[in-house]
Amino acid sequence: SSGINAEWPLRPGCHPEVMYCLLHAPTSPCPTSKQTMKYRYTVEELKKLPQDVQKRIPEMREWTKEVSGMKGRSEKPLVEELDKLAERAVANKYIETDEYRELRSVIDKANQCIKVTNQLVAIKRRSSRVHNSSPALKISINELNSFLKQVTDLPCHVPDSALLQEHYVRIVDFTERCDRALNKNLTKVQYEEMLK
């Protein structure tokens, strides 16, 4: 980006802090002899820009190929791998493509799921050691099922999701056994035996 500014105390509007783009430079009240052109790139740097762009096109294509390849992997990538891809795009100043926006969206969703998973696993571990009648985070079986589906649908791996899935299966199994027990005429001993 380039611009014109000037300092000439006899004319209002002629001040170093006042800049005019090249398109509006002719409207400056300052005479041409008092104007200074400021630009970001030298002529030599401008000559190199097309070469730099040509060099970066294959790099960006390779990056896009890597992002697309993550979807087809048999083993889901870790969130850290996706983070590195996003960081590379920012560091190399790649243009913001649909692939980049989708990648950022997946990373954001995955980080949210990881946060909730960590909270649920921490509650489960605490409750297995100490009885806590009012955990910090309460969630119904249906909500847990919906959350697990959201985690499963992510194209990346969420740590501890398998542990959460096992916990969900045990909860469903326990609930079903409770329902069966309540629908039968059982003695207290038989009821407790059935729930073991």
Pairing of strands 35-39, 2-6: antiparallel
pLDDT for 99 equals 92
Cα–Cα distance for residue pair 30/23, rounded to 1 Å: 15
CB atoms closer than 10 angstroms to residue 121: 16
From 26, 29, 40, 36, select the one nearest 6 (Cα to Cα).
36
pLDDT for 30 equals 73
pLDDT for 77 equals 92
- Name the phi and psi angles at 194, rounded to 5: -70, -30
Per-residue pLDDT of the chain (196 residues; tens, 9 = 90+): 567 666 655 556 566 667 767 777 667 677 777 777 777 777 788 788 888 778 888 999 999 999 988 877 788 999 999 999 999 999 988 888 899 999 999 999 999 999 988 888 887 666 655 555 555 567 788 888 899 999 999 999 998 888 888 888 888 888 887 777 777 766 666 656 655 5
C-alpha 76, offset from chain centre? 16
CB atoms closer than 10 angstroms to residue 162: 10
pTM of structure = 0.62
CB atoms closer than 10 angstroms to residue 125: 11
Q: 21 to each of 11, 93, 101, 133, how far by Cα in Å?
A: 19, 25, 32, 67
